[in-house]
Amino acid sequence: MSNIALKIERERKIRGLTQKDLAERSGVTYSTITKLESGVQHNPTIETVVRIANALDVRIDTLIEPQLGFDNSGIFPNDIKPEKKTGKFKFIDLFAGIGGIRIGFEKQGGISVFSSEIDTYACKTYEANFKETPAGDITKIDEKDIPDHDILLAGFPCQPFSIAGVSKKISMGVNHGFLDGTKGTLFFDIARIVKEKRPKILFLENVKNLMSHDKGNTFKVILNTLTDLNYTPYFQVFDGKHFVPQHRERTIVVAFNNDIFNNEENFSFPEVPLNKTKLSDILDKDIDEKYTLSDKLWEYLQSYAKKHREKGNGFGFGLADFNGVTRTLSARYYKDGSEILIPQEGKNPRKLTPRECARLQGFPENFIIPVSDTQAYKQFGNSVVVPLMEHLAKSVIKYL
């Protein structure tokens, strides 16, 4: 029996878990757990090790030794975070999520000097991929403690400005957007950091609806705030379908510090390429049956769609076109997968797997997913189209 087999078995038994318990907790298949503990499989992927370590609540190095080989190019893939201490420019990553924007700017030679994310599970994924644990709640971090940087990245929270989020808050009689006493004011945490640190460029990402929210007043407040801080903002809506087989529109704001550029940067957003990728290109062939919808759920979704069609509404599930692009992947995908269902011959449709969701967002193939399927769906649904971020980063850094 190998060292890792002994360690997994020991830690599992200390916690009174069966192999099936560990499989359910970690999201690693029961077959893989049994093969690891029996020594049949002795070089697991780092993603598998991270999932098991999280399920057992132990550090990764409790289970592995530094010299242990992996079939996933090591613990921290070079195409995500280069091992170097210096870069062409420095950036900070606010409301970092799982690092989608970061990857785009790192690929242009930048290095992160600070990151912040409040969600515990997103932090696990971020740490697994970037060897960096994000600082927590940005509202509790003094702007003076944040390192100097050239570019501020911020995919500030979507919920207060999304159509779905606003509708829900209105129905509950709750204030929304900048009137929201919690997330609605988080843009102003960006503003206080900008005021103190004066980065050369700001790169902000949000939902498409940001521009029309509250009859345009929300976006007006954002632009006025940036102007008051002596930055010149540029904005445009981009659709991720130009890079991946997913319709995903997002508002991008790039702002330049007038103290440095003197309003002479003459910035323009880049043209987007013609995407030739289709959905079938990112799908796996051998899929676990757990992703197939149950008869009960599939009947419910069909009934729900029929009811709304009769009322003249457009609500309902979406069967994806293998040769086309999907609807927008959302953070609610874990519930039933209804917005993107994959047809299957002779049986009910299925949900995308977390790895397929990663591909749909353009994440590198060796991006580590150390969390449960539920958390993974939420994380990729809240993230960005990585190739779009890289494409925009190329244009932005030309001005440094």
Catalytic residue positions, numbered: 158
Strand order in the sheet with 231-239: 110-115, 89-94, 151-154, 201-207, 249-257, 231-239
What is the token pair recorded at 125?
A: 């994924």
DSSP label at residue 295: H
Query: Rounded CA gap, 82 and 348, in Å?
Result: 43
The count of other CB atoms within 10 Å of the CB of residue 145 is 9
Secondary structure of 211-249 in the HEC alphabet? HCHHHHHHHHHHHHHHHHCCEEEEEEEEEHHHCCCECCE
Query: Rounded CA gap, 249 and 31, in Å?
Result: 40
Long-range contacts made by residues 183-188, C-beta under 8 angstroms, separation at least 24? Answer: 183/157, 183/159, 184/160, 186/95, 186/138, 186/139, 186/156, 186/157, 187/156, 187/222, 187/225, 188/225
What is the token pair recorded at 263?
A: 């309003």
Residue 319 φ/ψ, nearest 5 degrees: -80, 120
Rounded to 5°, the CA angle 15-125-331 comes to: 105
Query: Rounded CA gap, 201 and 151, in Å?
Result: 5
Q: What is the dihedral of CA 315, 237, 378, 296, to 10 degrees?
A: 20
The count of other CB atoms within 10 Å of the CB of residue 77 is 17
Q: Helix, strand or coil for residue 78?
A: coil
